[in-house]
Amino acid sequence: MSAQPMSERRRGWCPGVRRPMATGDGLLVRLHPFGGRLTAGQARIVAGAARDHGNGHLDITARGNLQIRGVSEETYPGLLALLEREALAEPEGNGPNRLTALSPLAGLDPQDHCDALAVARAIEDGASDLAGLPAKFFVSVDGGGSMPLDAIGADLHLVATSRGNAIAFGLAAPGDLHWIGTASLSRAPEAALSILAGFADMRLSGRTEARRLRDLEPALAKELAVLAALAFAVPPQERPVAPHAGSFRIQDRQAVLLALPFGRCSTVQLTQAADWSERFGCGEIRLSFTRGLLLPGIWDEQIPMLMAEAARSGFITDADDPRLSLIACPGKPDCASGLAPAPVDALRIAETCGGLLPQGTTVHVSGCPKGCAHAGKADLTLVGRADGRYDVVPHGSTRDVTLLHLSLDEIMNRLLSKTSDIAYRANPERTR
């Protein structure tokens, strides 16, 4: 299959290698490697492709995909041919470019309760010929370990539990996940495929117009759970949110997660990560839904040197870095939909107010109401407006309505004054 004709490209969908999307800085070409895994050699090829065919900027997305920015109409055919030759293009068809999302630690995490990679592969293979799923539809397969996928925004969440090798099934719901049932580990792929096929059939037969499972009528969602023969819902145990930087113990070695400010990666950084993966690790890079790169197989004594080199190269290595509290899309002018320079403004907030934000706080700065960088709620969501201000949504998402519209300076002044007031009330003598 060749590239999709320019006349057939549209916005508001999920781009891929074969179906690039026109945006503010040219065509956006998104790669969807299974499990987010690249060899060092593949990473170098992608970095070279971004340099030669794009503008040298790459993004790691909130689903653990990798996108090349700034591709032109003239350079795209050569890029497509290269990525097809290297088996980095998605399968042909109009459905999801990759159906499953995983923790970058899948298959490595000693805290996992199942082989999430094997479950995801069974779902991908079983749904390869399934028609009727929207392009943005995806399933998160969570082994139950160190990096929960609860906030990733999947249509269907599978989470392994410690209770008798069971897999909990959940749907996105306002404020949390709604658990619809459980299945044994051996039946989990079959049950998931039943739900996917049932949803696709509902769409094709006209029983629903919902494009995502989160928008499906409750009665139809219950019908899907019955169709999959799910047992009584047993919610998995709550876990701390996934860290965005640092190291993880994997048997006798470690895996190092290097964060990138707002997911933006240069060709130099990706090439350096490929070099480090061979020099310090096992020659593999894993793209993380936390918008960073994970390098597995690092010996303990090599961690300090790797962290030092990564920090000098612009990676975030400290899990407490205030920039990790903020989520931002490419924004204006890189995105044609962008109404505000989201990453620039997010960096200003991090530099001015980041040290005052409570640990674990999330601030989502979105260039427009689409909210591509973060599907769910945040402690504070800022949505760019055409007048230069932001819609301010406390404890909500870009889909929520608000009557509060402020400039960035007004937002930062309020954050600073609120924090100062809290500090004064906690210790008035010390803050005089």
Domain 6-85 has CATH 3.40.50.140: no
Cis previous bond, 33, omega within 30: no
End-to-end CA gap in the chain:
69
- The rounded distance, in Å, linking the Cα atoms of 175 and 358 is 20
Give the pLDDT score at 359. 66
Q: What residue spans define the domains of the chain?
A: 6-85, 104-227, 246-318, 324-426
Tell me yes or no: is domain 246-318 CATH 2.60.40.790. no
DSSP 187-226: THHHHHHHHHHHHHHHHHTTS---SSGGGS-HHHHHHHHH
How many Cβ atoms sit within 10 Å of the Cβ of residue 403? 6
Domain 104-227 has CATH 3.30.413: yes
CA distance 335 to 124: 30
In this structure, which topology does domain 324-426 adopt according to CATH?
Sulfite Reductase Hemoprotein; domain 1 (3.30.413)
- Position 10 scores a pLDDT of 37
CA distance 349 to 343: 10
Of the candidates 376, 375, 374, 410, the one whose C-alpha atom is nearest the C-alpha of residue 392 is 410
Bridge partners, 160 (sequence order):
167
Contacts of 329 (CB under 8 A, 6+ apart): 262, 335, 338, 342, 343, 365, 366, 367, 368, 371, 372, 373
CA distance 26 to 334: 8
* DSSP-assigned letters across all residues of 263-295: GEEEHHHHHHHHHHHHHTSSSEEEEETTTEEEE
Residues of the chain under the 50 pLDDT cut:
1-12, 419-432
pTM exceeds 0.75, yes or no: yes
User: What confidence score (pLDDT) does residue 175 get?
Assistant: 64
What does the radius of gyration of the chain's CA atoms come to, in whole angstroms? 22
Compute φ and ψ for 135, nearest 5 degrees. -65, -30
**pLDDT tens profile 63-73:** 999 999 999 99
Burial class (CB in 10 A: 0-12, 13-18, 19+), 170: buried
CA triple 68-70-76, angle to 5 deg: 75
pLDDT of residue 225: 96
Q: Which residue's structure tokens are 């690790």? A: 281
pLDDT digits (tens, 9 = 90+) for 365-385: 999 998 888 878 889 999 999
Buried b / exposed e along 40-70 (16+ C-beta atoms within 10 A): bebbbbbbebbbebbbebbbbbbbbbbbbbb
Percent of the chain whose pLDDT exceeds 90: 74
Alpha-carbon distance 18 to 14, whole Å? 11
Please state the length of the chain: 432
324-426 matches 104-227 in CATH topology:
yes
Per-residue CA distances from 243 to 130, 146, 219, 421 (Å):
35, 9, 36, 29
DSSP state of 102: E
User: 3-class DSSP state for residue 323?
Assistant: helix
Residue with tokens 């070279």: 48
pLDDT in tens, 91-119: 888 889 999 999 999 999 999 999 999 99
- Give the pLDDT confidence score for residue 174 in this predicted structure: 67
